[in-house]
């Protein structure tokens, strides 16, 4: 190899090292962010590497889904109750008195 060819290769070597370093660093950062935020990682052939699904994980997701549905139903009930309390607080006292009297008459 001639001296001139060697100079050209050595001139590009730092640039090549920087490009490789940025590429590897970007890959590591992307993988870390995917793991941190719960995104699945795929292998070369598309198989799941992380997180792996097993029976325990599937059962846990089912239980969490059921709990989520129960909490949503409870939240809906609480919203209804809060709407009634807001209506009572914001109504005029005359309307509240009429509502109470109407309830008393229904009870008798």
pLDDT digits (tens, 9 = 90+) for 41-51: 777 676 666 66
pLDDT above 70: residue 80 = yes
Helices first, then strands: H and E counts in the chain = 3, 2
Q: Is the pTM of this model over 0.85?
A: no
pLDDT of residue 76: 95
Distance CA 91, CA 66 (A): 38
pLDDT above 80: residue 63 = yes
């Amino acid at each position: 190899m001639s001296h001139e060819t060697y100079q050209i290769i050595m001139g590009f070597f730092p640039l090549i090292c920087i490009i490789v370093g940025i590429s590897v660093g970007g890959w590591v950062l992307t993988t870390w962010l995917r793991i941190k935020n719960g995104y699945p990682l795929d292998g070369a052939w598309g198989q799941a590497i992380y997180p792996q699904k097993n029976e325990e994980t599937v059962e846990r997701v089912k239980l969490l889904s059921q709990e989520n549905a129960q909490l949503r139903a409870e939240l809906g009930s609480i919203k209804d109750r809060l709407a009634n309390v807001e209506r009572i607080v914001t109504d005029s006292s005359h309307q509240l008195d009429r509502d109470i009297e109407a309830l008393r008459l229904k009870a008798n």
